[in-house]
Structure 1
Amino acid sequence: MNRALFFYGTLCHIPLLEIVLGRSGAEIDISEALLPDHLVSWVKDEPFPMIAAHPRGRARGILVQDLSPQDVDRLRFYEGGFEYDLASVAVELSAGRNAQAEVFFPEVGVWSAGAEWVLDDWIAEWGRVSEAAAREVMEHYGKRSVDEVARLLPFFRARGWAKQLAQETAPTSLRRDTSSADVTLKPTGDGFAEFFRLDTFELSYPRFDGTQSETLQRSAFVAYDAALVLPYDPKNDLVMLIEQLRYGPLMREDPKPWVLEPIAGLVDAGEPPMEAARREAVEEAGIDLRDIRPMMKVYPSPGYSTEFFHCFLGICALDPAMEGTHGLASENEDIRTHVISFDRAMALVDSGEINLAPTTMMLLWIARHRESLRANA
């Protein structure tokens, strides 16, 4: 028996509904509807809404009819990660008509209501991110449990947020101005998707000689955007570096896998990179950076990875007495901080002890601007 569902929130965004149901909006029976005596609000500190009974509320949304058992199963899979479940209601349609439908209500006590929900505001801020995350969620339909996918949802969103940040592209004064839209890209469906993601695909692209390349089989490591910040005290010419075990050198069988780094961490979905840098400075080094300035924005390994670095300079007062161990216990971080002279840091670059590209790159940026930074300290 087919069913009718009323949607009041993110699934009123038809591109998202299409992803979840796995078919075109032209094939879906959709009409405008209203649920009286209910109010839709943002979930506090989350990128989605909730609905609750309210005597003067009128929740506007859409009624989707003729949903098959598989449609409902796909919807349950998607919504289950948000801890919502179905309940029956009566909704109002045009011309005074009514209809019975089911609605996803939040589980009692799980979420707290925030400000009034506005769909257009959500689409502007979260539409693209949520579409990308939903594609990843639904890839796991029929393969993993709701709980397993819910655990990965913040990482799906973070990858979606990276795609949104990627729209702020860099200049093309020397390099080619051809668009990514001119590259023919076809996913092949193989790969791996977890905290990390490996995508396989076929592609062809316009060559510099004006011809089209042959179809190539390739793969890419789909990672995250990261915020990096290097604390610098221009008055005393000191820098802070952090030290921790890194799995890349370890798995390469480097006998010395502890490395000297800037403060760094993944940019959470919806988070401005500068705010991520500020947050990571507190978590990894116990310092509250008030004066953060942009450095460079770079792809560290564009040949195979989407990873992207937003680099910042953190102007602050430093003292060797600030050295210690830090890190979030919840993330099993074990981090040691070092406060050293800038000249010592550059000597470590020259000796190879600093063997991390972003550390070297950011120290060289300071070297380029050091005179003016110190003069204005």
Structure 2
Amino acid sequence: MPVLPYFFFGTLMDPDVLTIVLGRDPGALSKAATLSGFSRVRVENEPYPALVEEAGGQVEGLLLGDYVPEDDQRIRFFEDFDFAIEQCSVVTASGPEKALYCGAVRNIKPTDIPWSYDEWTRLEKARFLKATGIYMACYGTLDGAAADELWLDTIREIFGN
């Protein structure tokens, strides 16, 4: 059975972040995609977004279709055990497609403030890259609780949250 592409709607749309997370150059993301029925909002005290259901909402993102099992494991580690990998249907230029996305399940407090990729790039990306590098350097060595603690400590130190 073919592997479903990942639908990235936040920081993983950024090729520099994705390179750190995968530990390799990801190449070009497959294609643009739109997820309906959701909006993208800031997460309280975090520099990344979450999706919340919203009738009529639409979230633009990118699909990563070319990945191997190690990439999948690294993505799941990066998502910090607070997110569940869920299936969704997105629309691309070539029509509807099934995809995977990271949906919040615990320890995440979505706000009602929209999250903007352009604003994040301008104001937070440099610090986020530093935090991501520190966090991903521990891939394969930490359990969920220790990884969560490392992320929160790193974000507080770098972002002052």
What is the TM-score when the length of structure 2 is the normalising length? 0.89
CA–CA distance in structure 2, aligned partners of residues 7 and 39 of structure 1:
13
Q: Deviations over 1:323-368 (max 9, x none)?
A: xxxxxxxxxxxxxxxxxxxxxxxxxxxxxxxxxxxxxxxxxxxxxx
CA distance in 1, matches of 2:15, 2:79: 16
Task: Say whether the 8 Å CA contact 1:44–1:114 is kept in structure 2.
Answer: no
Structure number with higher relative contact order (C-alpha < 8 Å, ≥ 6 residues apart): 2
Alignment of 1:287-302 (within 5 A): none
| Contact 2:8 2:101 (C-alpha < 8 Å) held by counterparts | yes
Contact 1:3–1:68 under 8 Å retained in 2: no
- Which residue is 1:76 aligned to? 76
* 4+ residue runs over 3 A deviation: none
Larger Rg belongs to: 1
TM superposition score normalised by structure 1: 0.40
Aligned pair 1:123/2:124, yes or no?
Answer: no
Q: Across the two proteins, how many residue pairs are aligned to each other? A: 160
* Alignment check: 8 A CA contact 1:50 1:105 kept: yes
Instruction: Indicate the residue corresponding to 1:152 in structure 2.
Output: 150
Cα deviation, residue 98, structure 1: 1.3
1:270 Cα deviation (Å)?
4.4
Q: Which residue of 2 aligns with 1:49?
A: 49
Q: Distance in 1 between matches of 2:46 and 2:156?
A: 13
Q: Say if 2:74 and 2:139, in contact at 8 Å, map to a contact too.
A: yes
Cα separation, 2, equivalents of 1:149 and 1:11: 18
Tell me the equivalent position of 1:11. 12
Change (3 A) 1:130 1:49: same
* Equivalent residues in 2 for 1:269-288, closer than 5 Å: 269-270=159-160
Where 1:61 maps in the other structure, the secondary structure is strand
Q: Name the residue aligned to 1:246.
A: none
Q: Contact 2:44/2:108 (CA < 8 Å) preserved in 1?
A: no
The 1:144/1:89 distance shift into structure 2, 3 A limit, reads same
Alignment of 1:248-263 (within 5 A): none
Structure 2 runs not aligned, ≥5 long = none
Q: Report matched runs for 1:1-377 at 5 Å.
A: 2-26=3-27, 28-81=28-81, 83-95=82-94, 97-107=95-105, 110-158=108-156, 161=158, 269-270=159-160
* Residue pair 2:30, 2:66 contacting (<8 A) in 1 also: no
In the alignment, is the contact (CA less than 8 A) between 1:133 and 1:157 conserved in 2?
A: yes
Alignment partners' CA distance in 1, 2:7 and 2:33? 8
1:342 aligned residue? none
Identity of aligned residues (%): 24
